[in-house]
């Protein structure tokens, strides 16, 4: 991972959980629903299980580190790379390729689940 990305993740981890949720909400509202669902399942459905130390699973809130990984790093054109011959488009492709999750979303042309369902329903009905 590049130093710039590591620093970005470190700064995100320092934010409060509420701030991270707000950032995630602005990037992909569907993620917030999934985060809430995961935490709800740990709190309400896994009570019959135990952690490795034998204590019961009562809840498991997502950590700031886990939430920070859900935030997409913003793309910024590097003027030094521009001067060395790498266009902004090539830099954008490098930005996408350095993160496997971002690459998969781009490659699969992933959108919000709700939008994808709308397009599927619309194509079925027409």
Quick one: 37 and 89 in the same domain? no
Q: Which helix or strand (DSSP H or E) is residue 32 part of?
A: helix 29-44
Do 95 and 75 form a contact (C-beta atoms < 8 A)? yes
Quick one: 55 and 104 in the same domain? no
Quick one: 97 and 42 in the same domain? no
DSSP state of 50: B
Pairwise CA distance, residues 25 & 13, whole Å: 16
Q: Is 24 exposed, middle or buried (0-12, 13-18, 19+ CB in 10 A)?
A: buried
Quick one: 1 and 63 in the same domain? yes
Quick one: 108 and 56 in the same domain? no
Question: For the chain, what is the domain count?
Answer: 2
Quick one: 37 and 96 in the same domain? no
Residue with tokens 């809840």, as numbered in its chain:
59
pLDDT band at 37 (very low <50, low <70, confident <90, very high): very high
Quick one: 43 and 96 in the same domain? no
Pairwise CA distance, residues 94 & 91, whole Å: 5
* CA neighbor of 11 nearest in space, from 73, 59, 57: 73
Residue 116 has pLDDT above 70, yes or no: no
Pairwise CA distance, residues 77 & 100, whole Å: 20
Domain that holds residue 31: 1-73
Q: What is the mean pLDDT of residues 10-16?
A: 94
DSSP state of 28: -
pLDDT at 112: 44
Final residue of a structural domain among 38, 54, 73: 73
Global pTM? 0.70
pLDDT band at 113 (very low <50, low <70, confident <90, very high): very low
């Amino acid at each position: 991972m590049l130093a710039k990305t590591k620093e970005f993740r470190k700064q995100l981890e320092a934010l409060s959980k509420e701030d991270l949720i707000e950032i995630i909400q602005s990037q992909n509202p569907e993620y917030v629903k999934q985060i809430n669902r995961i935490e709800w399942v740990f709190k309400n459905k896994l009570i019959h299980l135990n952690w490795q130390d034998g204590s019961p699973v009562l809840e498991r809130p997502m950590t700031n580190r886990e939430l920070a990984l859900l935030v997409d790093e913003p793309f910024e054109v590097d003027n030094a790379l521009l001067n060395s011959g790498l266009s902004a488009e090539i830099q954008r492709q490098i930005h996408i390729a350095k993160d496997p999750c971002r690459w998969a979303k781009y490659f699969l042309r992933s959108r919000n689940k709700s939008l994808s369902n709308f397009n599927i329903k619309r194509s079925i009905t027409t």
